Each structure stands twice: as structure tokens, then as C-alpha cells.
Amino acid sequence: MDTNETNNNYYVEPEPEHRSGSGKFWLIGGALALALGANGYLIVRSNHLSDELAAIRDGNTAQFAKMNQSAAASDEDYRDRFDKLSQSINDVHSSAASAHTALKRFQADEKKANDDFSQKLDAQKTDFGGQLSTLSSDTSSKFSQVTTDVGGVKTDVDGLKTQVADDRTQLEQHTADLKRVVGDMGVMSGLIATNGKDLDALRQLGERNYYEFSVAKNQKQVRVGNVTLALKKVDQKHNRYTIDVMADDKLVEKKDRTTNEPIQIYVSGARQPDEIVVNTVQKDTITGYLATPKVTVSRR
């Protein structure tokens, strides 16, 4: 390429005519290809957008369906709860109505019971008043009878007191005739009974225990109270006798004793001696009594 410098500018040699037409063709083809490419891209992009839009629409549809299903389930649950609540309210109303009916029935029964009780109470008051009047009359009559009976008993008691006093006076007079003597052991004896009447008087005094006995010569031993007696010899002419006395496993011979003479024997556990008194002496038999202390106190 030739270069001519004119005013410091480059000169471009014009191309031939046929080369200019070919360039336009390629330019148009390139533009067309570019347009087709852009259109294809737009189509592809449009398809992608359509797929995304369809996916979004499907997702929204599924979500809406799920929401509708959840709403339906919630609505069903709400309806079920509402039905149960309505049933509970109806049950409460029914229970309240039943309770109200029962209350009215109870009030009616209570009123009837109160009326019946009042009637029975009035009847019982009337009956009790009659019974009380009858009881008062009976009580007054019985009290009068009891008063009369008490008067009779008092009279009897006074008479008994008088009799006891007389008996005591007679007993004192009779016991005054009884004697106290010194026994064969040198101890002052109690009152001595010489017969059955005297012995009864001593028993009434109650100072000692008394055991009557009758011992024959042919008897080996006779148990009397807390001692054992055996008759060894009898002198009826002189009212004398000889006996063996067994006390606390000790044998003592009381020889030639006389009637109404206290024979004294000490036994274990007693401060005072037992006393044997023979009132009668017969051919082969003696009779009398044994007197023992009521209270036994050990001797010191």
C-alpha cells in the first residue's frame, strides 16, 4: 500500500466494488445469526421461566391444597370440640334440671316428714301428759304406801333395837356370873362356861372360837380344833380325869384334872393359849369344849 503524506493525513485506497458487496452479505448474515442466537436464548430462557413458573404454580397449588387440608382438619377439630362442648352444656343443663327436680322432691319430703313429726310429737305430748298424770297419781299413792311401810319398818327396827338391848343386858348379866380363873399354866384364862347356856353366851360375845367335844375312853384319839385328845383315866366319884393332848406334834399328859379347870396349851402362831375345859365326867366319857383365840399372833 502506497502512502502519500498530505497535510500529515493518511490516505486509504478505496477497495474494489465487488469486495464491498460481499462484506455487506457477511454483515447481514452475522446480524441474522446473532438475531437467531438471541432469539434461541430468549426461547430457552422463556422455557426455563415457564418451567420455574409452573414449578412455583405447582408448589403454590400443593401448599394451597395442604393449607386447605389443614384448614379442613382444624375445622373438623373445631367442630368436634364444639359438639363436645355443646354436649357438655346440654349434660350440665340436664343435670341441673334433675338436681332442681330432686331438690323440689326433697323439700316436699322434708316438709311432709316435719309435718308427720309435729303430729306425732303432739300426740306423744298428749299421751305423755296423760301418762305423767297417771304416774304422778301412782307415785303419790306408792309414796304414801312406802311412807306407811317405812313407819312400820321403823317400828319393827325400834322393837328390834329394844330386843337387842334386852338381849345384851341379859347377856351382860349372864356373863357377869361367869368366872375367870387361872389355868394350869398360870395364865389367867378367859371366861369359863360350865354348861351349854354359858357356852352360847360366850359365843355371842365373839371373843374366841369354841369347839365342843365328847371323848370316850375306848377311843384312841379324837381331833378337836387344832389339837388331838385321848382319854386315859376317869375318876367319876371325884370328877377327875387324865388325858393326853397332842399339839404341834408334841404329846403332853394332863393328869388328874378336875371339871371346869382350864387346861392351857400353846400352839404355834398364837400369843394366847388354847383352853380345854371339861364340864362333865362320866363313867368312861368326858364332855366339854376347846376355846382358841380368834386372832393368832406369834409369841415373842
DSSP 242-256: EEEEEETTEEEEEEE
Query: What does the pLDDT look like over 207-219, one tens digit per residue?
Result: 899 999 999 999 9
Which of the two residues, 175 and 254, has the higher pLDDT score? 254
Per-residue pLDDT at 242: 97
Q: Structure pTM? A: 0.43
Residues 12 and 4: beta-carbon distance below 8 Å: no
Determine the length of the chain. 300
pLDDT surpassing 90 at residue 260: yes
Give whole-number Cα distances, 149 to 138, 143, 163, 164, in Å. 16, 9, 20, 22
pLDDT band at 3 (very low <50, low <70, confident <90, very high): very low
Per-residue pLDDT at 231: 97
Closest CA to 208 of 184, 192, 230, 187: 192
Q: In this prediction, what percent of the chain has a pLDDT beyond 90?
A: 30
Query: What does the pLDDT look like over 60-114, one tens digit per residue?
Result: 888 878 887 877 787 788 788 888 888 988 887 788 788 888 888 888 988 888 8
Which of the two residues, 237 and 157, has the higher pLDDT score? 237
Rounded to whole angstroms, the Cα distance separating 118 from 113 reads: 8
The sign of the torsion formed by the CA atoms of 109, 111, 114, 118 equals negative
Please state the rounded mean pLDDT for residues 267-288.
93
Rounded to whole angstroms, the Cα distance separating 94 from 107 reads: 20
Rounded to whole angstroms, the Cα distance separating 213 from 163 reads: 32
pLDDT surpassing 80 at residue 130: no
Per-residue pLDDT at 105: 85
CA angle 157, 163, 166 (to 5 degrees): 145
Per-residue pLDDT at 179: 60
Helix (H) or strand (E) holding 96: helix 17-176
| Cβ-proximal residues to 185 (8 Å cutoff; 6+ apart), any chain | 264, 266, 273
Rounded to whole angstroms, the Cα distance separating 17 from 292 reads: 194
Per-residue pLDDT at 32: 83
Per-residue pLDDT at 6: 47
Residues 266 and 250: beta-carbon distance below 8 Å: no
Which range has the worst mean pLDDT, 30-39, 63-72, 161-170?
Answer: 161-170
The rounded mean pLDDT for the chain is 81
What grid cell was written down for 105?
322432691
Which of the two residues, 45 and 240, has the higher pLDDT score? 240
Rounded to whole angstroms, the Cα distance separating 90 from 6 reads: 116
Residues 265 and 223: beta-carbon distance below 8 Å: no
Closest CA to 288 of 202, 187, 160: 202
pLDDT surpassing 60 at residue 259: yes
Rounded to whole angstroms, the Cα distance separating 290 from 70 reads: 126
